[in-house]
Structure 1
Amino acid sequence: MNNLKKIKVRELRLGMFLNGFDGAWLQHPFWKTKFLLLEPADLLAAHGSSVAECWIDIEKGEDVAPPVAVAPAAAAPRVVLPEAPALPPVSASFGEEMQRAAKLCRKARDATASMFNEARLGNAIDPEQCVPLVTEIAESMLRNPGALISLARLKTSDDYTYMHSVAVCALMVSLGRALGMDEEQCRDAGLAGLLHDIGKATISNDILNKPGKLTSQEFDSVKRHPVRGYELLVRGDAANAAALDVCLHHHEKYDGSGYPDKLAGEDISLMARMGAVCDVYDAITSNRPYKSGWDPAESVAQMISWKGHFDQKILSAFIKTLGIYPTGALVRMDSGRLAVVLEQNPAQLTKPVVKVFFSTKSDTYIPVERIDLSQKHASDRIAGREPREKWQFIRVDELWAGEFALGAM
């Protein structure tokens, strides 16, 4: 068939009709193999797979020639987001920023715990008091975003609620930058993230930290936290519109199946759609009393697969900030070695800096080697993400976070 053309997966771009991967179906990230590539998240997922080549149908989509505008598939109208700029270069190394980020995490955790305690006592919340903290978090994200985002995932059951708020704050700032927001908008996004779960101050810790399955009554209580948080902020009469909206609507889904108001599409505000992505990512990557957190790379792949849950354009921008293989992800190399991802190369999302430490061929630890996969001399590459549960004896977080994974924060 002359309309089919075999190309490298890395040559795929939006507007092409993917007719199939040249490899086992289990290796690629989609439940279907024939479809028009219209969503940036799908393109990122394809580029991050371990399959090297694929087939495109040039009668149904674009060729590898210079791109031609492709009409988007019929869908709910979208807000025109600002053109996303190139992410600014980091001004501090990952290691340097880890030291500062650890201190900031401790400070932010204590401040957030104090805020939740005030809410439990029935006192009004003053968001303005949080602005200096949000500013510090934004400055850390500007120096090196990977450090604070990654450290904030390392939570204990006792401080989960507080550190989750800090993590979502940081993720919102980073996502705002990726969407082209200015400094004030990013600060508003961060503040909204810090306050988004304040309603959980009204829920018993016995329910929040319950190791087993919640009863229907307990689950109903948890589902009321967006409304309760909104009411707390309204009573304080100082929260801005973004904070109020993200607090109330961060559990809405793009297909209308969320809560509390079952909003759909762009009836959900831009900030609330951002909040939904950031909230879910941190929740599923964090250890909880009732489950272990998912590997960061597995979490990204799962979020891509949940059709109807998120605004795909926002999800794509979010993945750009994290990388397809985020810091802390366990990956298998073409050589059969295991590695943990240390930091990102923003211009090449599939080629981060990794630390190789284990041979699956000899089933033994090997001398640790740091490899920047974006460098021409790099002789190995990532074959794909590796399930953490398969290697439970390996303390993955200690390999990238060192002392901070041992509770040093």
Structure 2
Amino acid sequence: MIKKIKTDQLRMGMYIQDFNCGWMKHPFFNKTAKITSQKMLEKVVNAGILELFIDTDKGVDLLDEKAEKEQKMKVQNKLNEIAEMKLEEVASVPLEKEIEKAKEIKDEAKNTVQNIMEEIRFGKPIKTEQAENVVDKMVDSIFRNQDALISLGRIKKTDEYTYLHSMSVCVLMISFGKHLGFDTRQLREIGIGAMLHDVGKMMVPPEVLNKPDPLNGEEYKLMKEHVVHSRLLLQKTKGISDISILLASQHHERMDGNGYPDGLKGDEISLYGQSAAIADVYDAMTSQRCYQKKFEPTEVLRKLFEWGKLYNQELVQKFIKCIGIYPVGSLVRLDSGLLGIILNHGEKSLLHPSVRIIFDTNKDQFLSPYDIDLSIQSGKDFQDKVKCWESGEQWNIQIEKYM
């Protein structure tokens, strides 16, 4: 039986009868495919396909409504369990004070990546001094308040994606490394590796790199070669550490061995590579691209759990605790029905952050913005908390206007 389903309903064992798009716009050679690995599932999601057709006679059917609800609830309960843990780190500088400095650092980082990549395109060597200077500033900002740069990293222009993605992965990796207990030297080295992890894309034909539609099979092969190009470029650059090279070389490797370029499996992938794989896919999927809609952060965190064979699940849990189940800049609904934007995470738990309230769903009206700290609501009979994330697009809310 042929059924039309949403891409987020796709699961292992399903037989895709029709990708619901031209063959040039999906990542497989054939117009049909059976999902036999988590990697194939990830490729379909990343291709930006919203709906497709499956044949239930040739593969597994949809989960029934009850089973699907139970599966989602199981993942949500795990996320909430992590969110209820007491936070170990508190920012030393308020977000509103750090945000202006962070904006300057973001612009400098984007320009640095752009300059380095353009010089590589013209055959010039990488000037590591530029990257080192801005990474040092990023490390300092993250120690003051990591949420400033992380929240700004979510705001990207489509035509600057390649540069801003490198900047964002750098921010996420420094923040994650700090959470994992890396020393300052290691933070600088993973920062350099993350900032330069995609420099090999400058060796990919421009018509493939800048194609506004999903890549076909042959183009996808060419794009995958960017990792090898990055490794070679960094290996011949003086002053680049082994940690930086490992991170750039392994950010597309997967725990089940179905990654690239080397097909490494499990502990064959370094801690830096395993961490970078999580940060890279998180930023890619939460970014809007011309051929792919962006996912809300909480959706991506759920998928990282669902794709358990691809990523180190212990690191996934630590990553969630580092950035929050509802990261700064997320639009959320409170139990009271109010909508607000996460400003920072309180000491109590990730479910009790500081929130900028902007909309009341009970009255269906915008409010004059005001801030509340959900971790301190003394004197109230009703203890409000975050219930779920909401889509800014659905509510016609431009989150950056309220940050």
Give the TM interval when normalised to the shorter protein.
0.7 to 0.9
Cα distance change of structure 1 residues 27 and 385 upon mapping to structure 2, 3 Å threshold: farther
- The DSSP-based 3-state class of the residue aligned with 1:338 is strand
Following superposition, the deviation at residue 342 of structure 1 comes to 1.5
Following superposition, the deviation at residue 268 of structure 1 comes to 0.1
State whether residues 158 and 289 of structure 2, in contact with CA within 8 Å, keep that contact through their aligned partners in structure 1.
yes
Structure 2, unaligned stretches of length 5 or more?
Answer: 1-65
Matched residue, 1:394: 397
State whether residues 338 and 356 of structure 1, in contact with CA within 8 Å, keep that contact through their aligned partners in structure 2.
yes
1:349-376 CA-to-partner distances (Å, cap 9, x unmatched) read 1111112222222222123231111113
Q: Say if 2:389 is the partner of 1:385.
A: yes
Matched residue, 2:12: none
Following superposition, the deviation at residue 389 of structure 1 comes to 4.8
Matched residue, 2:263: 262
1:382 alignment partner AA = V
State whether residues 42 and 304 of structure 1, in contact with CA within 8 Å, keep that contact through their aligned partners in structure 2.
no
Note the 1:247-286 alignment, pairs <5 A.
247-286=248-287
1:232 alignment partner AA = L
Matched residue, 1:240: 241
- The DSSP-based 3-state class of the residue aligned with 1:177 is helix
Matched residue, 1:66: none
Matched residue, 1:54: none
Cα distance change of structure 1 residues 298 and 398 upon mapping to structure 2, 3 Å threshold: farther
Matched residue, 2:375: 374
Distance 2:87 2:74 in 1: 32
State whether residues 326 and 342 of structure 2, in contact with CA within 8 Å, keep that contact through their aligned partners in structure 1.
yes
Q: CA RMSD in A?
A: 2.5
Note the 1:42-53 alignment, pairs <5 A.
43-46=78-81, 48=83
- The DSSP-based 3-state class of the residue aligned with 1:368 is strand
Following superposition, the deviation at residue 256 of structure 1 comes to 1.3
1:268-318 CA-to-partner distances (Å, cap 9, x unmatched) read 001111111111111111121112322222222222222112111221221
State whether residues 347 and 375 of structure 2, in contact with CA within 8 Å, keep that contact through their aligned partners in structure 1.
no
Distance 1:88 1:356 in 2: 24
Distance 1:254 1:143 in 2: 33
- The DSSP-based 3-state class of the residue aligned with 1:348 is coil
Distance 1:342 1:320 in 2: 16
Distance 1:306 1:183 in 2: 32
- The DSSP-based 3-state class of the residue aligned with 2:376 is coil
State whether residues 210 and 290 of structure 1, in contact with CA within 8 Å, keep that contact through their aligned partners in structure 2.
no
Distance 1:346 1:184 in 2: 28
Range that drifts further, 341-350 or 282-291: 341-350
Q: Say if 2:361 is the partner of 1:360.
A: yes
State whether residues 82 and 321 of structure 2, in contact with CA within 8 Å, keep that contact through their aligned partners in structure 1.
no
- The DSSP-based 3-state class of the residue aligned with 1:236 is coil
TM-score normalised by the chain length of structure 1: 0.76
1:226 alignment partner AA = V
Matched residue, 2:352: 351
Cα distance change of structure 1 residues 25 and 345 upon mapping to structure 2, 3 Å threshold: farther
1:178-206 CA-to-partner distances (Å, cap 9, x unmatched) read 11111111111111111111111122444
Following superposition, the deviation at residue 167 of structure 1 comes to 1.1
Structure 1, unaligned stretches of length 5 or more?
Answer: 1-23, 34-40, 50-84, 402-409
User: Percent identical across equivalent pairs?
Assistant: 35
Distance 1:214 1:323 in 2: 32
Distance 1:319 1:385 in 2: 15
Range that drifts further, 215-224 or 98-107: 215-224
Distance 2:387 2:399 in 1: 18
Range that drifts further, 355-364 or 143-152: 355-364
State whether residues 348 and 375 of structure 2, in contact with CA within 8 Å, keep that contact through their aligned partners in structure 1.
no
Following superposition, the deviation at residue 147 of structure 1 comes to 0.3
Range that drifts further, 199-208 or 142-151: 199-208
Matched residue, 1:318: 319
State whether residues 296 and 328 of structure 1, in contact with CA within 8 Å, keep that contact through their aligned partners in structure 2.
no
Distance 1:382 1:32 in 2: 18
State whether residues 87 and 349 of structure 2, in contact with CA within 8 Å, keep that contact through their aligned partners in structure 1.
no
TM-score normalised by the chain length of structure 2: 0.77
2:390 alignment partner AA = E
- The DSSP-based 3-state class of the residue aligned with 1:116 is helix
Matched residue, 1:89: 90
Following superposition, the deviation at residue 333 of structure 1 comes to 1.3
Note the 1:10-25 alignment, pairs <5 A.
none
Matched residue, 2:116: 115
1:384 alignment partner AA = C
Cα distance change of structure 1 residues 300 and 32 upon mapping to structure 2, 3 Å threshold: closer
State whether residues 45 and 301 of structure 1, in contact with CA within 8 Å, keep that contact through their aligned partners in structure 2.
no
2:302 alignment partner AA = A
Q: Say if 2:156 is the partner of 1:152.
A: no
Distance 1:27 1:330 in 2: 23
Distance 2:69 2:349 in 1: 21
Distance 2:271 2:204 in 1: 28
* Aligned residue-pair number: 334
